[in-house]
Chain A
Amino acid sequence: NAGVMQNPRHLVRRRGQEARLRCSPVKGHSHVYWYRQLPEEGLKFMVYLQKENIIDESGMPKERFSAEFPKEGPSILRIQQVVRGDSAAYFCASSPQGGVQPQHFGDGTRLSIL
């Protein structure tokens, strides 16, 4: 299965720690998107990246959150000094091109903050 791979599937952190979420897009896809989903809600856009570039980060909090998609390796969503409110499912999606191309999703990382 060459779909979007996210790890870890579950991540538990204490308040103040850092969380690193990884996403390997579908092979050949150079566009990556990160979304956040709270229980019983839809997905909310956070950030859109192409290789080595952040294209649109308008949905990502300005503080504590950062994202990267290096030339080699997976895309990383990093949350510093986590707080209880960061508890959510974080999904990564990829597409071969940007714009209106359908995005293909991974199974998410469920982040729990103690």
Chain B
Amino acid sequence: GQQLNQSPQSMFIQEGEDVSMNCTSSSIFNTWLWYKQDPGEGPVLLIALYKAGELTSNGRLTAQFGITRKDSFLNISASIPSDVGIYFCAGPPLSGTGNQFYFGTGTSLTVIP
């Protein structure tokens, strides 16, 4: 099946620092989504990307759809304690049925006050 690899696997940062994480795939995706999951809760959609090269912001979050369509990046500026959680990339691969969303392995973020 599809493999979405996220890096880094985990991050420990000081409050106020910027964060960068990425997601890579072995195949082309036509949509990239970034979700955040808090413990005991479901994933919450942060940003959706639909075109190669697209750069989209949502507050302190910025995500980019890679030119190769096999990767995506998420940046968080000026991190705050409530940014703690697990960040997942997800999407339907171009080669698939369009129904299945594949999820990445996740990046766990810890913000130290």
Could you list which residues of chain A lie within 8 angstroms of chain B, going by C-beta atoms? Answer: 4, 6, 33, 35, 40-45, 48, 55-56, 58-59, 91, 93, 98-100, 102-108
Contacts and interface: CB of A to CB of B under 8 A. Distances in A.
Interface string B42-71: 111100101000000000000000000000
Given A43-B88, A102-B48, A107-B42, A56 B102 contact: no
23 contacts: A35-B103, A41-B106, A42-B88, A43-B43, A43-B88, A43-B90, A43-B103, A45-B101, A58-B100, A91-B42, A91-B43, A93-B42, A98-B99, A99-B92, A100-B30, A100-B50, A103-B101, A105-B43, A105-B44, A107-B40, A107-B41, A108-B41, A108-B42
B44 A56 contact: no
Contacts of B45: 102-104
Nearest to A10: B40
A43 B44 CA distance: 13
A81 B40 CA distance: 26
A98 B99 CA distance: 7
Contacts of A55: 99
B76 interface: no
By Cβ-Cβ distance, the 3 closest A-B pairs, closest first, are: A105-B42, A42-B103, A100-B31
A108 B43 CA distance: 9
Nearest to A42: B103
Interface of B: 4, 30-31, 33, 35, 40-45, 48, 50, 88, 90-92, 97-106
Contacts of A108: 41-42
A55 to B, nearest CB: 6
A56 B101 CA distance: 12
A48 B42 contact: no
A40 B37 CA distance: 11
B104 to A, nearest CB: 6
